[in-house]
Amino acid sequence: MTGTTIFDSILKGEIPCDEVYSDEHCLAFRDIQPQAPVHILVIPRTRLINLNYAELEDKELLGHLLIIAARVAKQESLENWRAVINNGDKAGQTVFHLHIHVIGGRNLAWPPG
Ligand code: AMP
């Protein structure tokens, strides 16, 4: 869980991605296995495994990621959408580099599975 992930390779440009937003703190790109018509991942450029590892000093970065998630949703013309962060394998996390899923474009059931 502590090694690098495929997202490091995407950030380095070693693996292509369908980028929708980029700045000095984060990158947003389309999920390769979309679960909805719009499914985008917003990831920090610095690695944080997941929210279990977040410290108070990460608050600016975490706030930035949420604002960018909302900006990306707006860019995609989404008014109704969901931000999802899976923390840990039993919660569905498969890539251990923090990411916000921006999911929308269809009705979303609640509760999630
Ligand atoms: P999670 O299961 O919350 O860790 O989400 C990881 C997400 O990364 C999954 O939805 C995958 O489909 C997605 N993913 C994995 N590899 C890539 C890739 N190369 N490009 C885009 N999305 C990816």
Q: What is the pTM of this model?
A: 0.97
Which residues are known to be catalytic?
A: 99
Atom from ligand 1 closest to the CA of residue 17: 20
Q: CB of 41 within 8 A of CB of 99?
A: yes
Name the percent of the chain in helix, strand, coil, to the closest 5: 30, 20, 50
Tell me what pLDDT residue 2 has: 58
Identify the residues whose C-beta falls under 6 Å from ligand 1. 6, 15, 17, 31-33, 41, 86, 92-95
Pairing outcome for strands 19-22 and 26-30: antiparallel
What does the pLDDT read at residue 101?
Answer: 98
Positions in the chain short of pLDDT 70: 1-2
**Minimum-distance ligand 1 atom for the alpha carbon of 15:** 19
- With contact defined as beta carbons under 8 Å apart, do 52 and 34 qualify? no
Tell me how far the alpha carbon of residue 99 lies from the centroid of ligand 1, in angstroms. Answer: 9
Task: Name the token pair of 31.
Answer: 């999920």
